[in-house]
Amino acid sequence: MKIQILGTGCPKCIKLAENAQVAAKEAGVEFEIEKITDINKIMDLGVMLTPGLAIDGEVKSVGKVLSVEEIKKILKK
Amino acid sequence: MADKIEKDVCCDAKTNDTCCSGAARTLILACSGGSNVGQISNNLMIRLNMEGIGNTYCLAGIGAALSGFIESAKASQTILIDGCPTACGKKALEKYGIEANKYFVVTELGIKKNHDFNKLKDETDLALILLKKQL
């Protein structure tokens, strides 16, 4: 699966990416992380608040740094 | 309304606010329907944007079930303007459990629904005055 981090690269975006990586490893899923930092691409997805998290192109969360546990719940759905 | 915004919001993409500022703007949605009042709702959305009250946003994106639009609307303060009591905008948001923080219906501002687009500017001016009294 492709885990996409939507954000321009601030510390909170980086933290979300770290949490997502840990969550995916703990969940035992095959994954790749894609960081989308182009603000226009982020807005094309309708995302108005960053950091955002998308899985395989579907936006799951915007405007918050999800915890590892929160991301694991999303990955299991 | 600010309580709805998570403390760890990074930045407001559309306005390019300073990252990690915690700032979040209000999203304005309009039904933008095919009648005069639908188009007035769209005009009002633009006018409110121009006055700095919020940012125009895509109700169509929510209607099309696009996840980014839905999640952004859930995470933001919202002003929704429907043209008439059919309330297409309100129903579109309800499908995803979203209730606008402020809700207006153009006909309830005293504008009669029709398909005459010759008076749009005057009707929009009047509706804007009345709407802003309720903001």
Residue B132 has pLDDT above 80, yes or no: yes
Domain count, chain A: 1
ipTM > 0.85 (yes/no): yes
Element containing residue A24 per DSSP (H, E): helix A11-27
Structure tokens at A65: 């740094």
Show which residues of A are catalytic.
10, 13
This prediction has a pTM of 0.86
| pLDDT tens for each residue of B18-36 | 444 344 579 999 999 999 9
Best mutation target, B56, B70, B71, B74, to test chain A (most A CBs within 10 A): B71
Residue A10: CATH number of its domain: 3.40.30.10
The closest CB to that of A47, out of B8, B13, B16, belongs to B13
Alpha helices in B4-135 (DSSP H): 36-50, 59-63, 67-75, 88-94, 120-134
- Which domains does chain B possess? 25-134 (3.40.50)
| pLDDT tens for each residue of B35-83 | 999 999 999 999 999 999 999 999 999 999 999 999 999 999 999 999 9
- What is the domain range of residue A55? 2-76
CA B79 to chain CA mean position, Å: 4
A51 CB neighbours in chain B (<8 A) are 10
DSSP notation for B99-130: --SEEEEGGGGTPPP-S--TTHHHHHHHHHHH
